[in-house]
Amino acid sequence: MEKTHTLAVSESDSSKRLDLYLSERLKDLSRTAVQELIRKGLVLVDGRKARPSHRTRTGEKITVTVPEAPPCEAEPEPIPLEILYEDDDILVINKPRGLTVHPGAGRRSGTLVNALLHHTGALSDVGGPLRPGIVHRLDKDTSGVLIVAKKNQSHLNLSRQFKEHSTTRRYHALVWGKVEDESGTVDIPIGRDVSDRKKISPRTRKARRAVTHYRVLRRYPGLTLLEVTPETGRTHQIRVHLAAIKHPVVGDPVYGKRVPPPVLPQPVRVAIKGLKGQLLHAYVLGIRHPVTGKYMEFSSGYPADMEGILRLLEASSVRT
C-alpha cells in the first residue's frame, strides 16, 4: 500500500542535506532509497521538487510518497536451511557451498532467497524485490555463517555495522604452498579486471582499497590452513588477495586452479581433485543485535569435504 509521510523541519534539523535528513527520520528507508524517491519526484519541499543536496530550513513542510513495493520476483522453494539462530528481527544460517545467495541475471530459482521465502514471509525489502533480507553476501562456492534481516530497521542497522567494519568476521581457508610468516596483511587495491570483467584483480581501472589480515593455523606439506580477517568487504577480496601473494585457495576455479603436487598423500590429492568449490569457509560472524544492541557471535563447522581433507592431512602427514 502506498504511504505518504509529512514532516516539518525543526530548528535542530535545519541546514541538513535533504536525503540525509529523510533517511534519519524515516527509519525504514536507506539514503539510497530516499535519493531514488527524490529522483522520481516523490519528495516535495513546500510543494516543490528538490534535489538530494537541498539544505533544509526550519519550518519547511516535506512530503514523501512511498509507492507500494512491487511483488517479489523470486518464488518460495523448499530448499533446506541450516539455521543457527532466529528471532523476530534476524535469521542466521550456515550457507552451504554451491548455493547462490540471490536471484540475478539468468537465475530465478534455487537460491538462498528462494529458500528464505519458503521459510518465512517476514523479510526486509530494503535490498529490492530480488534480495529480500539480504544484508551481505558470500560467494556461491564459499560456505559459512550469513545473517539475514527480517525487518527494514534491522536491515539498515546491520548494513551500517558492515559499512563501519564493526562486525567480527573470521574465515578459514586452506591455501596452496607454505605461508612463511605466522601472520600478515595484504593491502592491495582491487576492482574489475581490465581484460576480464568477470574477474576481480589489482589490474583494474577503478581500484578500491582492500585490506585482508591473516594468520597461520596449521601447516602441512604443500598446504597451509589460514584464519583470514577481511578489514574491507570487496567482491572476491579474500580469494584475490591470497592469490596475489601466491597462496590461492585450494579448489578456487577462478583464481587458484592448480594440480595437487606429489608431496601430498594420494588420498588428499584424490579428494582435492574431486572438489566442487574452494575451501574457504566463513567460520565466525559477530554483530550487535540490531534491536537490543547485545553483541552476538555465531560460528559453524566446516563443510564435509573440507573437514575430510583436513582429517586426511592430520592422519597421513607430519605437520611442518
Q: What residues are annotated to the active site?
A: 139
Per-residue DSSP letter, 96: P
Helix (H) or strand (E) holding 312: helix 304-316
Given a contact cutoff of 8 angstroms between Cβ atoms, the answer to whether 188 and 241 are in contact is: yes
Q: Please report, for residues 8, 72, 153, 315, the alpha-carbon distance to residue 132 in angstroms, rounded to integers and kept in the order given.
A: 31, 8, 13, 44
Q: For residues 156 and 151, give the distance between their C-alpha atoms in angstroms, rounded to a whole number.
A: 9
Residue 129 burial by Cβ neighbours in a 10 Å radius (0-12, 13-18, 19+): middle
Give the amino acid at 153: Q
- Largest distance between two CA atoms of the chain: 76
Report residue 265 as a C-alpha cell.
598423500
Residues 6+ apart with CB under 8 A from 43: 18, 22, 34, 37, 49, 50, 62, 63, 64, 65
Total number of residues shown for the chain: 320
